[in-house]
């Protein structure tokens, strides 16, 4: 059994998890704009729970997005630092795939429309179908305004379940179409604990690579920047 670390900072939730031959260990906290301060202590915590040191990690997986621009930069920066220090291989996991897998595990869903609030009046979305291992993308991860969402991609609607806080925005503009889905789980968020299976599947299939081959996925060409003084810093304690 490989020692795998997974973490995600793509939403308001910050989470970390580890899988080893001794079990699974995880922690999560909802703290917007504090991910830079929370992530490394969380990683230290789950590694201590698992009884291993960073140097004993074989693979490091992170939520690569889409999601918060700042959160994704934090994730890739921490992944780079840990991989360079430990020699571990790396893998970026789609945040929407992680959300879809979590929904499939917790419900009877075979097809999941994963949708997150992208802010700036837009949503991130993707469509995933259940398989024996990792869910397969049948509608690629994308970005759009709720009023421009193409429900024809998710027909028939009764075959799909919706998940993520972006569903609330879709419902505001297209209540009838959302009501046609078999179920909606707007309270679900992507968490590292639920991404452990995806990381393990990928490890078994040899999909982990050197860290320089893994990049975050923003899906947005322009980003709303804050003043430097308003941005979290990995250098702050």
| Cβ neighbour number for residue 139 with a 10 Å cutoff | 18
3-state secondary structure of 225: coil
> pLDDT-based confidence at 202, cuts 50/70/90?
very high
DSSP 138-187: EEEEEEE-GGG--GGGG-SGGG-EEESTHHHHHHHH-HHHHHTSSEEETT
- The architecture in CATH of the region 4-95+190-230 reads 2-Layer Sandwich (3.30)
Do domains 4-95+190-230 and 96-185 share one topology? The answer is: yes
Answering whether pTM is above 0.85, one says: yes
Alpha-carbon gap, residue 144 to 106, rounded angstroms: 27
Question: Which CATH number fits the domain 96-185, given the four candidates 2.60.40.420, 3.30.420.40, 2.60.120.260, 3.40.50.1980?
Answer: 3.30.420.40
Residue 95, helix vs strand vs coil: helix
> CB of 191 within 8 A of CB of 61?
no
**Measured between alpha carbons, how far is 62 from 105 in angstroms, rounded to an integer?**
20
Residue 56 in 3-state DSSP? helix
Inter-residue contact 189 to 26 (CB < 8 Å)? no
Q: Which two three-digit tokens encode residue 112?
A: 């999941």
From the list 141, 17, 121, 119, the residue with the least C-alpha distance to 8 is: 17
Would you list the domain boundaries of the chain? Answer: 4-95+190-230, 96-185
Q: What is the pLDDT of residues 10-24, one digit of tens each?
A: 999 999 999 999 999
Q: In sequence order, what are the beta bridge partners of 114?
A: 126, 163
pLDDT at 220: 85
Q: How confident is the model at residue 229 (pLDDT cuts 50, 70, 90)?
A: very low
Quote the mean pLDDT of the chain: 93
Average pLDDT of the residues in 126-143: 96
Helices (H), the chain: 35-50, 69-86, 95-106, 166-173, 175-179, 192-204
- The answer, yes or no, to whether residue 228 has pLDDT greater than 60, is no
**What does the block give as tokens for 176?**
């009838």
């Amino acid at each position: 059994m490989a020692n795998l670390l997974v973490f995600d900072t793509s939403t308001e939730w910050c989470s970390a998890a580890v899988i080893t031959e001794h079990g699974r260990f995880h922690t999560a906290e909802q703290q917007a704009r504090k991910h830079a301060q929370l992530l490394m202590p969380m990683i230290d915590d789950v590694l201590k729970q698992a009884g291993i040191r960073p140097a004993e990690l074989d693979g490091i997986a992170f939520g690569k997005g889409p999601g918060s621009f700042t959160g994704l930069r934090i994730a890739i920066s921490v992944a780079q630092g840990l991989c360079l220090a430990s020699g571990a291989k790396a893998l970026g996991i789609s945040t929407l795939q992680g959300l879809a897998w979590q929904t499939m595990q917790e419900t009877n869903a075979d097809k999941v429309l994963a949708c997150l609030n992208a802010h700036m009046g837009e949503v991130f979305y993707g469509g995933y179908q259940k398989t024996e291992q990792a869910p397969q993308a049948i509608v690629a991860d994308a970005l759009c305004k709720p009023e421009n969402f193409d429900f024809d991609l998710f027909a028939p609607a009764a075959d799909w379940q919706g998940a993520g806080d972006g569903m609330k925005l879709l419902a505001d503009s297209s209540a009838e179409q959302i009501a046609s889905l078999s179920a909606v789980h707007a309270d679900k968020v992507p968490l590292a604990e639920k991404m452990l299976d995806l990381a393990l599947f990928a490890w078994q299939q040899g999909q982990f690579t050197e860290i320089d081959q893994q990049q975050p996925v923003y899906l947005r060409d322009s980003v709303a920047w804050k003043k430097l003084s308003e941005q979290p810093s990995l250098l702050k304690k």
